Amino acid sequence: MKYAAPSSVEEATSLLSSSPSAQVFAGATDIVPQIHGGRQAPEVLVDLKKIDELVSLTSDDKKWTVGAATPTVELTENQAFSQEFPGISEAAGLIGSDQIQSRSSLGGNLCNGSPAADSVPAMMVNGTRALIAGPKGNRLVDVSEVVTGPGQTCLDSDEFVVEFEIDRAPSLTGDAYLRMIPRTEMDIAVVGAGARVTLAEDGTIAAAALALGAVAPTVVRVTAAEEALIGTTADEDTLAVVAAAASAVCNPIDDKRGTIAYREQVAGVLAKRAVLIAMERAQQRNGDV
């Protein structure tokens, strides 16, 4: 196995194109344990962390841009980002431990293709887009379309994610991410729930997004819940509809960490709680972009 550390997107693309089994990595917190666990090692491991735009976190008046290999700790430590997207920030802050977060990236979390990846529901509810580079040029793909199944993505073998784009959150908008794990930390979600809410001036919900992780082969949107929330104040009756819709959308596995019935039940509970936290945050974010 060879190691390559390109300093530009073009160099990385040509390395990937020239070697049939080359593979990119960022923090290596998924790929190295997988290789140690017996997965076939690629011929060339292409390190993305030496490319400037892949390890940056910037914003302008339209959007935030997060380099795909940026250590997730930077998302939790950046105050402006955390204030605007507390849900993405708290999801990033749940990945493993301090040591893991100093290496792990959003690009790796997404492209590893785990249904339980913590950042993915949080990115999805915020309409995050992935800029994908390849020999034929760049393409912009909604994060919800990147993972096609457990461990599988829509990327060709010579493509990789350069960065993520997240539109600036309008005022009266809040997001949240919650997960249930059997232990208190360092565990994988049995259920993860990301929610985002935008309020109208009268305090009712003008827009809502809800996504669940670890309950199906890929992260799922709960569109019935999103529709039910519009025009309401997330009262008890509406939250009961949200919980039922969240449970209904689940298609989970049954394993030692949670039965199907347990995951369905927990999905409903976390969905309601995540919506309420997003609501509360939306009420507090009035006026500032």
Point out which residues bind ligand FAD (CB under 6 A): 23-31, 33, 48, 68-69, 94-96, 100, 103-105, 107-109, 111-112, 117-118, 155, 160-161, 186, 188
Nearest 5°: the CA angle 203, 207, 211 is: 125
Q: Which is nearer to ligand FAD, 104 or 144 (CB)?
A: 104
Q: Which is nearer to ligand FAD, 93 or 174 (CB)?
A: 93
Joined together, the tokens standing for residue 61 give 């008046």
For residue 253, the minimal CB distance to ligand FAD (Å) is 16
For residue 92, the minimal CB distance to ligand FAD (Å) is 8
Q: Which is nearer to ligand FAD, 83 or 187 (CB)?
A: 187
For residue 80, the minimal CB distance to ligand FAD (Å) is 22
CB contact set of 1 (below 8 Å; sequence gap of 6+): 41, 42, 43, 44, 45
Q: Which is nearer to ligand FAD, 28 or 244 (CB)?
A: 28
For residue 28, the minimal CB distance to ligand FAD (Å) is 5
For residue 233, the minimal CB distance to ligand FAD (Å) is 32
Q: Which is nearer to ligand FAD, 68 or 211 (CB)?
A: 68
